[in-house]
Amino acid sequence: MKREDLDYNAAEFAPEEDNVFGRIAGRYDRLCDIFSFGIHRQWKSKMARAMAREQASFILDVASGTGDIPLRYLRQKKRNPDARLLVSDICPEMLEVAQGKLEGKDDGLRFKVLNAYDMASIEDNSVDLYSISFAMKICDRELVLKEAFRVLKPGGTFFCLEASQIPIRFIHNAYLAYMDWCMPIIGRLAAEGDASAYQYLLKGVHDFPNQRELAEEIRRYGFMDVSFESLTFGITALHRAVKPPFAGVGTP
Ligand SMILES: C[S@@+](CC[C@H](N)C(=O)[O-])C[C@H]1O[C@@H](n2cnc3c(N)ncnc32)[C@H](O)[C@@H]1O
């Protein structure tokens, strides 16, 4: 898929054209801590706690990166002791880091290279809980949502943690100005001169829909009971949605 085809891709990122995550995999965790002053850990823990409240036996974490969401979900797993968790990413280097962090922590863990747009090896209506964090802004949302809807069981739950908007416009603009100013400097230093990672993420942060717009998009692709919680004044938001219990296979 070429970059110009990605209408719903806020960052205009095409992994086939730029293996940026492959290049920064070993430094990704450090970059997250630096860019967010460590707050990403709280956001991810919040998502994992919300996921653990769902009854689920097959959990699919998509675009898992270095495995932060699965790592935190496992800490809550006593609530779903028999759950199987598939950790996936399109980038083998990122998945390798995740594997290093998670391997041996749980018998129900599996790892697989998967493209969120086309997960042919995952059957229709087979997943109880689908999660994606900080990847939606660099993906084509239409393709991600359609594929999430296909693989989820009727009644299954969708979670998305992503950059969002602070509702007070001038504060949001000040936040964006800060990101525009500091991300290139910190990003260049921490990524040892590789500018592309923060450029995609920055573009994604600028052009991603706000909480309500994303909720509306999720609804448009067939989900029901769409809700969201703004985190840290709306810098990020956690969306939850349900595939309708009587939905057909694949098509909303
Ligand atoms: C910003 S990282 C987020 C990683 C992790 N979920 C987290 O919250 O830290 C984005 C991840 O999305 C992955 N990714 C990008 N496009 C993808 C796609 N089409 N399918 C699956 N993974 C994708 C990248 O390889 C990268 O690991």
pLDDT tens, residue by residue, 148-183: 999 999 999 999 999 999 988 899 888 888 888 877
Atom of ligand 1 minimally distant from the CA of 143: 19
Residue of 16, 21, 96 with the most ligand 1 atoms within 8 Å of its CB, for mutation: 21
Give residue 195's pLDDT.
66
Please indicate whether residue 89, judged by its CB atom, sits closer than 6 Å to ligand 1. Answer: yes
Q: Report whether 136 contacts 162 (CB < 8 A).
A: yes
Compute the distance from residue 246 Cα to the ligand 1 centre, in Å: 30
CATH class given for the domain over 3-242: alpha beta
Helices (H), 127-194: 141-151, 169-190
Which residues are CB-neighbours of 246 under 8 A, at least 6 positions away?
A: 154
pLDDT under 50: residue ranges of the chain: 1-6
Nearest to 131 by CA among 17, 238, 252: 238
DSSP 123: P
64-81, pLDDT tens digit by residue? 999 999 999 999 877 788
pLDDT score for 8: 66
Q: Which of 64, 89, 142, 199 to mutate to test the pocket of ligand 1 (most atoms within 8 A of CB)?
A: 89
User: How far does residue 64's CA lie from ligand 1's centre (Å)?
Assistant: 6
pLDDT at 12: 66
Full-model pTM: 0.91
Please state, as a whole number, how many other Cβ atoms lie within 10 Å of the Cβ of residue 130.
28
Structure tokens at 167: 């509702």
The pLDDT, as a whole number, for residue 14 is: 72
Question: For residue 24, what pLDDT is reported?
Answer: 85
In this prediction, residue 34 carries a pLDDT of 82
Strands 109-113 and 84-89: parallel
The residue ranges of DSSP E strands in the chain, in sequence order, are: 58-62, 84-89, 109-113, 127-133, 152-163, 224-231, 236-242
> Looking at ligand 1, which atom is closest to the CA of residue 61?
6
| Tokens coding 35 | 């860019």
pLDDT at 4: 46
